[in-house]
Amino acid sequence: MIENVFSGSDISEFRIWMGWADRYVILTHMGPDGDAIGSSLGLYHYLKSKGKEVVVIVPDSAPDYLMWLPGAQDIRVFADDPDASEDLVYKADVICCLDFNVVGRIGKIAASFLYSKAKKFLLDHHPYPGANYDVILSHPEASSTSELVFHLICALGGFKSIDKDLAQCIYTGIMTDTGALSYNSNNSNLFMVVAHLLEKGVDKDLTYRRVYNTYSESRLRLQGYVLNEKMQILADCSTSLITLDDDELRRFNYKKGDTEGFVNMPLQINGVLMSAFFREDKEQGVIKLSFRSVGDVPCNRFSSDVFNGGGHQNAAGGEFHGTLDEAVARFRKGLEKWSKSDEECIRILFAK
Ligand code: 5GP
Ligand code: MN
């Protein structure tokens, strides 16, 4: 029997809003990934099936490998028409915030979000939710926000209204946030959710191929270059570092999403327990930082201690304002500081 993570009282306010609220805006984080888009479109389909006016607004566009998802063509990119998007945010009755914890993660949408008089609802699995919401359903132990959307819909009595399109969006979010059920997914309840989604018509093998096996040739060559020439192994601290500057990205005809997954690769090496990937984003004038770790090593703490970033224990990120070389220098200093720690979860990085 599937166990719902939400009790009746958790969702009582949302249920009341559903009674009177007609206009819904769904927001998700910058650089939207499979879970951000999957959870947003899952909830989008549900609210539409209930006759609601609903729009998904993202700060910047989703990568191509997600644009085949049902409803993806209806997503509004804030940056494409900020005035019209702001208007929708102001006029919304309810704003659903999915897959992010703090408003800093929605970039320029934050100003209109904070100003809007709409009811604000957070549904998320990142730790440390912010305070700008009327209702917060935060479950860091969940595999993904998409899994939480499934539970929310069921708690609202909507299991029957989950059709193949909706199930497809939710499955994609679960798949991408768990590396196709290879991490963050040691949970029989999650597999029951997945079983239900398959029964609704999702083809999980096809979903995998559509998301992971649609690379361009230049993307795969960039991966080869990274592994051959750019991956540094800092054996003394069980850590790896990959950097890519703008020239290198151009050389390989970089497109949004092309470096997705690079940060995970060094963890395939025996003895590497933490991995960092820094990418120069010239358009936004920042260095994008990604961290991954294994087991008890808290890469989110490294990200927040050293770069003011955040995330989950084993998957974190942040931004650095400065040059790539400066980011690397800060990274090395951060590791040096960590090497003096006497906390067990950090010491394992330096144990010989
Ligand atoms: P990714 O490496 O896939 O970009 O991000 C991994 C995780 O790190 C995300 O799920 C999110 O929790 C967190 N994250 C990514 N970028 C940022 C950021 O700029 N600030 C904070 N606080 N967290 C981030
Ligand atoms: Mn997520």
- CB of 129 sitting under 6 A from ligand 1: no
pLDDT, position 1: 82
Ligand 1 centroid from CA 224, angstroms: 25
Residue 350 in tokens: 């330096």
- How many angstroms from the chain centroid is the CA of residue 45? 20
The Cα 139–Cα 128 span in angstroms is 10
The Cα 3–Cα 144 span in angstroms is 16
The Cα 34–Cα 98 span in angstroms is 12
Question: Amino acid identity of 337?
Answer: K
Tens of pLDDT, residue by residue over 43-73, are 999 999 999 999 999 999 999 999 999 999 9
Kind of pairing, strands 239-244 and 23-27?
A: unpaired
| Ligand (nearest to CA of 290) | 1
Which of 342, 334, 333, 329 lies closest to 316, judged by CA?
334
Kind of pairing, strands 119-124 and 94-98?
A: parallel
Ligand 1 centroid from CA 1, angstroms: 33
Ligand 2 centroid from CA 229, angstroms: 30
Q: What 3-state DSSP class applies to 37? A: helix
- CB of 30 sitting under 6 A from ligand 1: no
Residue 142 in tokens: 């969940």
Q: What 3-state DSSP class applies to 111? A: helix
pLDDT higher than threshold 70 for residue 183: yes
How many other β-carbons are positioned within 10 Å of the β-carbon of residue 352? 5
Q: Which of 33, 66, 105 to mutate to test the pocket of ligand 1 (most atoms within 8 A of CB)?
A: 105
Tally the residues of the chain: 352
Mean pLDDT, the chain, rounded, equals 97
Q: What percent of the chain has pLDDT over 70?
A: 100
| Ligand (nearest to CA of 129) | 1
Contact partners, residue 203, CB within 8 Å, separation at least 6: none
Give me the residue label for tokens 């703008």. Answer: 246
Tens of pLDDT, residue by residue over 319-349, are 999 999 999 999 999 999 999 999 999 999 9
pLDDT higher than threshold 90 for residue 352: no
Q: Which of 99, 106, 126 to mutate to test the pocket of ligand 1 (most atoms within 8 A of CB)?
A: 126
Give me the residue label for tokens 């559509």. Answer: 210
Question: Amino acid identity of 212?
Answer: Y
